[in-house]
Chains A and B, each alone.
Chain A
Amino acid sequence: MSQRKTELRNFVKRYCNNKLAVLGLVIFFLIVAVVLIAPLLIPYGEAEIDVAAFSAAPSSKHLLGTDTVGRDVLARLLYGGRVSLFVGVVSTAISVVIGIPLGLLAAFYRGWFETIVMRAADIFMTIPSTILILFLVSMFGPSIITVTVVIGVLGWTKFARQIFGTVLAVREKDYIEGGRAVGQKDSVIIAKYILPNAIAPIFISITFRIAAAIIQESSLSFLGMGVQMPAASWGNMLYNAQSITILKSCQWMWIPPGVALVITILSINFIGNGLRDALDPKTALR
């Protein structure tokens, strides 16, 4: 037990020594905090229309200006952040809940279960995910829930494959056979020997998957297939930028959500890289 505690302490120490990783964590928490307390910060709702100000440039009244319909851009930015983060985190949770058990059981029991799971993963990975997502969203109608579920369901393959590999490697070790020999139940063997080793890389994958899910949702919303108006999402705020007039003269409408996306995803990537380097300093890229 104490060996684990020292490992954990060393892990945290290595992570905290990595300036980028800490920066990423700080920025990410700041973003989460700001979007959560959004109603306290700005007086406008995300769909509230100010008839006196259509496409208004930033002013003291609207800090980031208004969009073409008169909605406050800063408000939409903050509320949109909620949506993007929600979809990113919840869809990843769905992917984990589907992928981990499938990969774990496929590696543990092998046989036809493994073949089915791995073939299914092949199929899901061969069809480009954006196409499949568009297909499914068009069938069920775009909405926050559809987008979250679809992105989540299509993201299972990465986790399944990862834990499959980890379990396969550990499976052949002697202590597993030893456990079996003394009659330990399968579930105990999995919980006690296999999962602890597999957890850390999974966490790293979870971090990167959240970033990928945020990019996927924003791309979908940008195409008009994700979060629908009047709800805000960083992606659908960029939808209007496809018009040349807005691109040219209304920078306040499309640059803030884009920058918000970059900063958020960047911070998540810093965290993921930090976790990876802290986990195994030998494979640290720098």
Chain B
Amino acid sequence: MKKYVLKRLLIAIPTFLGITLFVFTLCYFATGSPLELLLSDPNISEAEVARRAEELGLNDPFHEQYFTWMKNMLSGNLGVSYRTGNPVSGMLMDALWPTLLLVLASVLVACLISFPLGIQSARHQNGIWDNISAVFSFLSTSTPSFFLGLVFLSIFSVHLGILPIGGMYDTGKSETMLSLLRHLIMPACVLGSTMVGSLVQYIRSSMLEVMGEDYVRTARSKGLKELVVITKHVLRNSLIPVVTYLGMEIPLLMGGAIVTEQVFSWPGLGSLMLKSINSRDYSTIMGVTIITAVAVMVFNLLTDLLYGVLDPRIRHN
């Protein structure tokens, strides 16, 4: 098992380096240098601008700037935001937890909806639930998340008034768990719905495949209760493709969260990214990109580990 984990980690490193190089190169050639604000101020002389440029290291060759940036980043210093003047790493940490919370809540919602639907569809093919889940799947993959979010807002916040319009907690009052849940439920459902469609189908087809296997027939003929057959044999073995799928989808969720965060004013990495783009705050833009890539890699690693737990053949190969 340890070898398996180590191998996974080793592969992740060149990918990470590639990502940092890619992001840094893009920013290097981007217009809108940090000196623009200075240049537009007539009171600052050219000599002063040149001095600041030297100080920030903007005249150093490309690879030197890259190495300085990498060195700083690996020691936790991601620079200072051009927009707010605050350290980027602090802003990233503040924004990371809301996004992670949203993503995990969405996965939970998606699983809560998809597993019962998928299992029922597999057990009674072409039955009423199977057809309902088919319609549901098509609709959920075809509806853009922002439209669904606006529809939810319109129904639950504007017309029914039972759920809040945006933000993470009730303003002014204390940050309670209840207010968090009230604010979380709609964005989590919206973001989760983007996954439900394919997840239901994956669960269904995976279970159908396993149910056709010989060992399930054996379990049934042994006289085991249906519930035991389903949970102990079928479900456990059909989880593997489902876990793969979930692992592949989470990066998409991190991207999809941007739109959802905008609709519900959720203070996460997505909102931070949009604000930074609008103010050309490149240090924060780089920071958000790197941290989302790292989050994706961590999730991929966890998925691979979970794979090893679920399928002993993989970790012993």
Contact = CB atoms under 8 A, between A and B. Distances in A.
A138 B296 contact: no
Contacts of A254: 150
A139 B31 contact: yes
Given A119-B15, A244-B165, A247-B150, A125 B251 contact: yes
B130 A286 contact: yes
B292 A261 contact: no
B265 to A, nearest CB: 9
Interface string B249-262: 00110111011001
Interface string B32-73: 000000000000000000000000000000000000000000
B26 A128 contact: no
A248 B23 CA distance: 41
A261 B141 CA distance: 12
A269 interface: yes
A249 B112 CA distance: 34
B143 A262 contact: yes
B285 A138 contact: yes
A248 B251 CA distance: 33
Contact of A270 (B23, B138, B153, B251): B138
A136 interface: yes
B142 A122 contact: no
Interface stretch (A41-49, A62-70, A217-225): A217-225
A127 B150 contact: no
A131 interface: yes
A242 B285 CA distance: 24
Interface stretch (B185-193, B217-225, B272-280): B272-280
B116 to A, nearest CB: 18
Contacts of A122: 15, 18
A238 B138 contact: no
B293 A127 contact: yes
B277 A134 contact: yes
B292 A223 contact: no
B26 A126 contact: no
Given A238-B150, A258-B150, A258-B151, A244 B158 contact: yes
A218 B144 CA distance: 8
Interface residues of B, number: 53
A275 interface: no
A269 B138 CA distance: 7
A87 interface: no
Contacts of B130: 286
A197 interface: no
Contact of B134 (A238, A248, A261, A286): A286
Contact of B292 (A127, A222, A238, A262): A127
Nearest to A141: B31
B22 interface: yes
Interface string B272-305: 0110010010000100110011001100100000
B291 to A, nearest CB: 10
B306 to A, nearest CB: 18
A285 B285 contact: no
Interface string B169-191: 00000000000000000000000
Nearest to A267: B142
Indicate the member of B142, B150, B289 with the most A CB atoms within 10 Å: B142
B289 A132 contact: yes
A172 B15 CA distance: 29
A223 B143 contact: no
A129 interface: yes
Contacts of A131: 254-255, 258, 273, 288-289, 292
Contacts of A132: 289
Indicate the member of B144, B150, B259, B300 with the most A CB atoms within 10 Å: B144
Contact of B205 (A134, A215, A261, A285): A285
A18 B146 CA distance: 31
A130 interface: yes
Contact of A119 (B14, B145, B263): B14
A138 to B, nearest CB: 4
B150 A219 contact: no
B139 interface: yes
A119 B18 contact: yes
Contacts of A127: 19, 22-23, 289, 292-293, 296
B30 interface: yes
B126 interface: yes
Interface of A: 119-120, 122-123, 125-132, 134-136, 138-139, 211, 215, 218-219, 222-223, 225, 235, 238, 241-242, 244, 247-248, 251, 254, 258, 261-262, 265-266, 269-270, 285-286
A-B interface, 4 closest residue pairs, ranked by CB to CB distance from nearest = A128-B255, A130-B255, A258-B147, A266-B142
6 contacts: A139-B30, A235-B144, A238-B150, A262-B143, A269-B141, A285-B205
